[in-house]
Structures are given as C-alpha cells and as structure tokens.
Copies of this chain bind each other. A is one copy, B any other.
Amino acid sequence: MIFLKKIILFLSIFPLALCQENLDPDVFPRPLIIEINEAHLKEWPAEEVLLQCTSWRLAGEANNLNPWKTIPEECADYVKEYMTGKGYALDLQRVSNEAGLYARSVDLSGDGKIAWVFDVDDTLLSNLPYYAEHGYGLEIYDRMKFGEWVERGMAPAIQASLKLYGEVLSLGFKVILLTGRSEMHRNITVKNLVQAGFREWDKLILRSFEDQGKTATRYKSEKRNKITEEGYQILGNSGDQWSDLLGSSMSVRSFKLPNPMYYIP
C-alpha cells in the first residue's frame, strides 16, 4: 500500500512540474524551487527513489519531458548525489569520448569551413561551484547572485569538454561558441574561458539586446542559420540543454551533455 501510495504521489507531482507559461527570458540556468520535507523523504525506500528518479532523469536526457520548472521533490537528494558523485563525471566523460570518436571520423581534408558549436554554461564551464553554495539548485533562482557568480569569472572547465575541445581544434574544426549569456558579460566570459583553458575560437556569440525575450531554441537557431549562411558547415554541436541542439540549421551530430538540474526552453 505504501508503495502504491508513493507511485500515485509521484505521478501526481509531475503535472505540477509542467509549465506552459512564458518563462522569464533570462538566459541563465533557471532555478529549482524545492522544499525538502525530511519526514516525507524517509518514507520512500532508497530503491524506489533510485528507480523513479533514474527514470525521470533518463526522460529528461531523452527530451521526453514537457517543459519543467523544478525537479521532483523526491529526487532532490538523488540529483545532488548524482551531480557530486561518480555518475555525472562518468556521463560527461562518455559524451566527450563519443563526440571525439565522431570528430575523428569526419573528413576535414577539404577547404570548407567545418564547424563545431559549443554552448558555454555547464557545457564548457561548470557552474557546479555556484550550485554547491546554493543547494545544488534547491534555492530559488537569484538572477543577481548568479550574475555576480558569472562576473567573478571563476567557473572551472568541465575537464571532459576541455579534452574534446582540444581534439576538435587540433583536427581542424572551426570552433564557434554560442551562449545564452548576455553581451554585458562578454569580457569576463572571455577571461574565464581563457583561464579555464579554452584559448582559441572562431566566434563567440552572446545574446545581444535584440535577442532578449526569445527562447534559447529560437535564439540559437537564428544564430546557427546565420553561421550556415556565412558558409560554415555545422557537423558537431555540444550542449547541456536540448535548446542548444534542436531547431533550424541543426548540426549533423549533436551531443547532449547531462544536466538534471534545470531546463531551458
């Protein structure tokens, strides 16, 4: 009965996490609004948490979830453990390895402008230190505080991505960075990227004033259209959000880095 109750509770929570309304056009990772009910969490057996939350995380990574604002309450500890444990690191490494294998299979002998597009936040640079100080997304998103974090320019490289980045460059791909960060953060973003080891790129595209208010999918699609019109062929794209990868002028291959903490449409 307790099991059944939990299943019903779990299923009933999902609709609450859905959101059809227009989201704040803010380009930064969106917050998790989660209240932990300790007594409640203890009721759910660890095995059930693992099963349900792995299924939820898988659905997110396969882009099956409808737009969501928060992770399910029951998965709060699970997500924290995943992000700080072996799971996240292993998944990052696997995506990097698979992308590298693909990159090496591409014929770059012509004189075409063969491009690889990278997202920045939680693709090249890790915001995990920020989330560590803010409950790994459990706190309500604070645009000011996150902006301050960005302006500190202290985000470390995601090591698996740094490795791929080096490989892709050495193979002869043109690297294009396409980020939802605002133009007002250009200087610190350049400084942070360089300090983290990302030292060479063809273009760094940030969100300008006229791109505010667009979904990330639309903004990034428009930029990819422009990149393609300029004669680039986009053969690889890495991002931690499906909005980095889907839309128009899609890359021949896309690589979805894991991120169960937030969803950007």
Contact = CB atoms under 8 A, between A and B. Distances in A.
B256 A97 contact: no
B98 A64 contact: yes
When all copies of this chain in the complex are counted, the total is 2
B51 A256 contact: no
Contacts of A66: 98, 101-102, 105
A111 to B, nearest CB: 24
A29 to B, nearest CB: 19
Q: From DSSP, what is the main secondary structure of chain A's interface residues?
A: helix
A59 interface: yes
Interface string A53-71: 0111111011111100000
Interface stretch (A85-93, A128-136, A153-161, A195-203): A85-93
Given A54-B54, A58-B91, A59-B91, A65 B98 contact: yes
Nearest to A85: B51
A94 interface: yes
Contacts of A56: 94
A14 interface: yes
A59 B18 contact: no
Contact of A101 (B15, B62, B102, B254): B15
Interface of A: 11, 14-15, 18, 20, 51-52, 54-59, 61-66, 86-87, 90-91, 94-95, 97-99, 101-102, 105, 254-256, 258
Given A55-B90, A59-B95, 20 more contacts: A14-B97, A20-B105, A51-B86, A51-B87, A52-B90, A55-B94, A57-B58, A59-B91, A59-B94, A59-B98, A61-B62, A62-B62, A62-B63, A62-B258, A64-B98, A64-B99, A65-B98, A66-B98, A66-B102, A66-B105
